[in-house]
Structure formats: C-alpha cells, structure tokens
Amino acid sequence: MSTEYRNFLALSYEELEELNLKAKSDRLNRVSADEIREARLKYLTDEKRIKAVTVLFSDLEGRLHLLDYDKKFLVASYDNLTFDGSSIRGFTAQKESDLRLGIDWSAFYWVPADVFGNGKVLVFGTVIDKSGAPYAGDLRGVLKNYSDRLYKEKGYTLNAANEIEGFLFAGRDAEKKYHQTGKFEYVNTGGYYHSLPLDPLRQFIDTCAEVQRAMGFQNEKDHPEVAPSQFEINYSYGEVVAAADQIQLYKLLTRQVATNMGYTASFLPKPVVGVNGSGMHTNMSITRDKTNLFWDPAGQEQLSSFGWEYIDRILSHALDICLILNPSVNSYRRLDPHFEAPNQIKASATDRGSMIRVPIGNSKSMRVEVRSVAPDANPYLVLYSLFKTGIDGQVASIDNLRQAHRYLPDNIYSAIEDFSSATWIAEILGADVQNRFTELKRAAADRSPRQLGTFVKGSEVQYHHEVYNQALWNEF
C-alpha cells in the first residue's frame, strides 16, 4: 500500500526525550490530575498526526496487554472505555466479565516510530470494576492507591529502581519453539563486559538504550552480563508506580527491538542450566520532604533504624511473599547458591547469596536491595508487596533474624503452599486475589515435572506465563 499521502507522527529521538522528560517531571512533582488530563486531551486534539492511542494494562501475573484506540474515539470516550475481563487470565469470570479502563494521564509516553509504529502514543490505564471501584486484580491500581495514600498521610514518597537482566537468543520466537528444539542458541559468548563494539549483543544493547533514552528513562549504564548472551540496561530511580511502568516498557521495547533484529529477548529466570540466571534486583528507598529515611551516617552500614526495621519485616515474611517474587516453575532453578543466587533469608552488606543486600550509599543513594526477585515477576505486585511488607508487616520472633540459617524454597510447590496459607497475603491482597494467583501458579506448576532435574524442560518454557501464546493459555 502506498504511503505517499500519509502524515503520521514520527518524532526525532531528541524531541521524544524532551517531551518524555517533561512528562516525567510533571509526574514526579505531582501536578494535579485534572491539569494533566486537560493538557493531554488538548494535545491529542491539536496534534493531527496521531492516529491511535495505545492503552496498556497488566493482568494478575504481570503479562502486559495493549489496546489501540482510535485517537478521536478516545478523546470523546476516555471516561467510558470497557473491555471483556473474562478474556484476561486471572481477571473476572465470564458471568461478571465487564470491566472498565480508566486513563492515568500522567503515565503518558511519546514513542520512537521505528519501534512502536508511526502515529501512536502510549498511556497506562487502570482497571475499574463494574461498581466503579478500583479492580482488586489490577495490582497497578493497588500500588498507585497505596503510594498515594502514604504520600497524603505520612508524606512518604516510595522510590524504586530495578536491575533487569535478560538473555538475547538467536532467532525469533525462540521460547515458543523451545519444546521442539530443546535448546537456546547464544548470539554472543563473551561474558561479563566483554563484547566487540558491533557484535550482535552490543548492537542490541545500544539500540535498546537509545530507545530508553528517548522515552525518558534517564539511563545510567548498560553492559553484557555474566552469562553468555546476557544483558542489563540500567536506568535511574523513580517514584514507585513510574518505576513499575518502566519495567513493563523495558521488557516490551527490548522484545520488540530483538524481534526487529531477528532475535528473541527472554526474561526466563534460568533458561540455560550451568550458567548464571537472570534476576531483577529491586532497590528501594523512602523519602519525606526529599530526605532519605534510610540514611543514617551513624547507623549500622549507614542504614537507619527505620531501614533495618523495613528489612526485618521483609525477612519475617520472606516465605509468604516468595511466590510473588519468584512466580514461575523456572524461577526456582535460579535460586541456586552455586551461581551467586540469593536463596538465603538474611541481610548482608557483602554476601550476594543473601536475599537482601545493603549497598554502599550516601544521603541520596542509601537504599535496600532485594536480590531474590525474578525478572518474570509482576512488577506492580512485587513493589506493592515489598513496600507494604517493609512498612506494615510484622517482625517475627526469630533469634538473630538478619543472619538466621533459613532458605527460600527450591521448588514452586513449596512456595505455593507458603503463599496460599499466609494470613499476611490474605491481609494485603484479599482472599479472592490470593486464591486466584494460587490457582494460576498451581496450574502452571502441574504442567511440569515436580522435580526440576538437571535440564530445562520444554513444559516450563512452553507454559511460562510470559510466552505469548493464546492457544496454550486456553489449555489451562
């Protein structure tokens, strides 16, 4: 089809970065929702080159869903968007399927046309029950409401930064084809930091970093990781909901860039036995009036008593929340102490086998790092459960809690039992969401052998919740 007469929006990367950083600043400064909404609606009305608005939301497992609305329709009907919730795994039953989508106008992104298509912008949505209340299965909405309430009641700003590791494998759809091939093929075997400037992995990382920069991520550093064909592209701290949104965008854009290059970006925690797996180390801090509440120059490891109490509560509930942080069959392969895996329920400034690490910091950067998070976890559920637990959880009566000889489960069935029986999970998520998440995880677990064994099984990849294959989902 001829494109001669088309005039769709396609901005330079420099223009995109400027627009996205301005939107990010407004979001950080909590510009009123009404003001942001009116500004976005005016922009969409005036900018004739936009054809569609992509609205994003995530299901209970963290799978990202995208709906494209015609721009003119959205502008006229943004407050009356509905969709069939029974088609989303973990959402409503068929008899109560109607859900609404609200628009979080502050979470608005201008995107590179060569990755996302011409004439489109992105905005995150919130899921609303038919009663008009926030939908309990939409953990983005749960996280946002919790964050907003803490800011209003205590002046807390919840901050997070995630170090998301992944693998780049040869060929498109390598995960979908794994049950046929039984292997993943590396595109690079150089290892940590080592790659030629224009080898496939380096070109992939460079391209993704450029896209992130254009989308206002404020990059810090990027490099190949320890394992062959493994990558990590780091970006700056953000307010907790924006940080979780960026995790979803990071995974979306890296997958699309990989596909464009003829590869597969995979966020399986342990796709290859015998090399390091992929984690999503989650760094957190809490500020009030721009003061970092985790910093104390006289504290142990320069972490404040508030910060240590935060750690103690997470350690106390480590088994309760393990399934949230490690939600797949494959993720329990990663919790292997032979590969610097954080399987010990303890805190340390130096031991990378500890679930929680206290990195070196200062008054601005002091933070708590939870290392036992897998990259396939639902980022909204992870950050909500960690902050909620660290702030509101109970401290267990365990001698020497921070150095006790306790370990995270080595299989998903143990984690399911801990999660499903935990009163703390019922308290923070509600019994209905607790049961739905349990059922989803048990259904996936039952598709794979109970014993992990020494080889990655086709079923643990084929039925992994991040492998986009509707035909497989229907078999659950």
Q: Is the pLDDT of residue 227 over 80?
A: yes
Weakest-pLDDT range from 42-51, 173-182, 365-374: 173-182
Predicted confidence (pLDDT) at residue 373 exceeds the cutoff of 80: yes
Q: What percent of the chain has pLDDT above 90?
A: 77
Name the H helices within 297-446: 305-316, 318-325, 331-334, 379-392, 412-420, 423-429, 431-445
pLDDT band at residue 95 under the 50/70/90 scheme: low
Q: Are the C-beta atoms of 242 and 280 separated by less than 8 Å?
A: no
Q: What is the pLDDT of residue 3?
A: 57
Answer yes or no: is pLDDT of 165 > 80: yes
What topology is assigned to 13-135 in CATH? Ubiquitin-like (UB roll) (3.10.20)
375 close to 280: Cβ distance less than 8 angstroms: yes
Calculate mean pLDDT across residues 135-145.
Answer: 95
Average of per-residue pLDDT across 116-129: 94
Structure tokens at 110: 């201008």
pLDDT of residue 69 exceeding 60, the answer is yes
| 6 pLDDT higher than 80 | no
**CATH architecture assigned to 156-473:** 2-Layer Sandwich (3.30)
Check pLDDT > 70 for residue 476: no
How high does pLDDT run on average in the chain?
Answer: 92
- Report how far residue 355's alpha carbon sits from residue 371's, in angstroms, rounded to the nearest whole number: 5
Q: Which residue has the higher pLDDT, 355 or 130?
A: 355
- The pTM assigned to this predicted structure is 0.95
Note whether 186 and 264 are within 8 A (CB): no
In terms of Cα–Cα distance, which of 96, 49, 55 is closest to 77? Answer: 55
The β-bridge partners of 350 are: none
Rounded average pLDDT over 172-197:
85
Helix H or strand E segment including 158: strand 156-170
Instruction: Give the chain's length.
Output: 476
> pLDDT-based confidence at 20, cuts 50/70/90?
very high
CA dist 74 and 54 (Å) reads: 10
End-to-end C-alpha distance for the chain, whole angstroms: 40
Q: What is the pLDDT of residue 85?
A: 83
Cβ atoms of 376 and 331 closer than 8 Å: yes
Confidence of residue 4 (pLDDT cuts 50, 70, 90): low
Angle at 273 between CA 420 and CA 415, to 5 degrees: 10
Q: What's the half-sphere exposure (Cβ side, CA atoms, 13 Å) at 449?
A: 8
- CATH 3.30.590.10 domain range(s) in the chain: 156-473
pLDDT surpasses 60 at 2:
no
Q: Quick one: pLDDT band at residue 313, thresholds 50, 70, 90?
A: very high
Q: Please enumerate in sequence order all residues whose Cβ is within 8 A of that of 32, keeping only pairs 6 or more positions apart, or say none.
A: none
Q: Which residues pair with 348 in a beta bridge?
A: 357
Tokens of 150: 């803490």
Cα torsion through 288, 291, 293, 299, rounded to 10: -160
In which band, very low, low, confident or very high, does the pLDDT at 467 lie, cut at 50, 70 and 90?
confident
Arithmetic mean of pLDDT, 190-217:
87
pLDDT-based confidence at residue 298 (cuts at 50, 70, 90):
very high
Q: Which helix (H) or strand (E) holds 348?
A: strand 344-348
Q: With a cut of 80, say whether residue 156 has pLDDT above it.
A: yes
The amino acid at 283: N
For the chain, give every residue range classified as CATH 3.10.20.70: 13-135
Give the pLDDT score at 198: 83
> 431 or 223: which carries more pLDDT confidence?
431
